[in-house]
Structure 1
């Protein structure tokens, strides 16, 4: 496929997308909501709280014993470290791509939409992997746990779909444009 110099120059001058940093930030933030709300505040589960019924043979650590809670808390901490690294990585990528108008960026529907997509992706991947494939924990273990796990997946799908629609409804964001201008393609 032949391209003209003008097409190449135009593609090089386009702003870099905020899709990737938005999704990576959303993954980290979604993980933090899961870890802080479900693991710590509500204490519905920990990373290894259902390993007595898992599908891969991980040793069971009963979260109602001191040693079991210690091991579950350790793995919750590892989970939070991954979430924290995801947020730092997302911020680093975002910082590298946006050199002007950073304040305006944080009010952008495009960025928040991609962050919701990332949160939804987190819920879908973590829900399918940890709740269904590995079985190492469930949203709320016990009678009806399948419905809690499926609800978590539905929430993830809604977050991803809603975030995608939100970013589509936003104004394109050109990080190099002076304040007040929103020229360029949707990022």
Structure 2
């Protein structure tokens, strides 16, 4: 593999490591805050409370697998002196935002497996949830765009 091809591969791996980590962190925060602490909903609300709790446990396990998977890639990138924090952070924001937008549109509205909260006026909750997701996605795109030439910086962790 040529030097240029290897640098592009590492630049892409930084983004994917961030995306995996971002998905895991967003899922973890969603499950911890909205499922456990606030008890607004379960991952799957179309059955009994026991099924909802089991679905939360599986969702929690998924979040940790994604988080740890992203960290394994980071460890490999650091070992190769190819970790680029800003590029990784852009991927993290993209992963978090895309997960949240997927959750708010596909799971909440299309599949209807749960809502953010069961109240009469759900629109403000939906707008805030999806609005934050869009802000995260835009920030992630901006960071990855800024670091698109990061192959020049693949020698360090800056």
Instruction: Tell me, yes or no, if the aligned pair for 1:131 and 1:138 is still in contact at 8 Å.
Output: yes
Larger radius of gyration: 1
- Number of positions where the alignment pairs a residue of Structure 1 with one of Structure 2: 153
From 68, 72, 75, the equivalent of 2:55 is 75
Once the two structures are superposed, the pairs formed by residues 34-49 of structure 1 within 5 Å of their partners are 34-49=30-45
Higher helix share: 2
TM-score (norm 1): 0.71
From 2, 12, 15, the equivalent of 1:9 is 2
Relative CO higher for 1 or 2, CA cutoff 8 Å, sep ≥ 6? 2
Instruction: Tell me, yes or no, if the aligned pair for 1:117 and 1:159 is still in contact at 8 Å.
Output: yes
**Structure 1 counterpart of 2:69:** 89
1:151: Cα distance to partner?
2.3
CA root-mean-square deviation: 2.5
TM-score (norm 2): 0.82
- 2: CA distance, partners of 1:144 / 1:13: 51
- 2: CA distance, partners of 1:178 / 1:144: 49
1:101: Cα distance to partner?
5.2
1:138: Cα distance to partner?
0.7
- 1: CA distance, partners of 2:125 / 2:156: 47
Instruction: Tell me, yes or no, if the aligned pair for 1:100 and 1:178 is still in contact at 8 Å.
Output: no
- 4+ residue segments displaced more than 6 Å: none
**Structure 2 counterpart of 1:172:** 150
Instruction: Encode CA deviations 1:44-103: one digit per residue, 9 max, x unaligned.
Output: 111123x2xxxxxxxx32xxxxxx2x221111000011111111111122223332558x
- 2: CA distance, partners of 1:147 / 1:85: 32
Contiguous gaps of at least 5 residues in structure 1 = 1-7, 52-59, 62-67, 183-187
**Structure 1 counterpart of 2:129:** 152
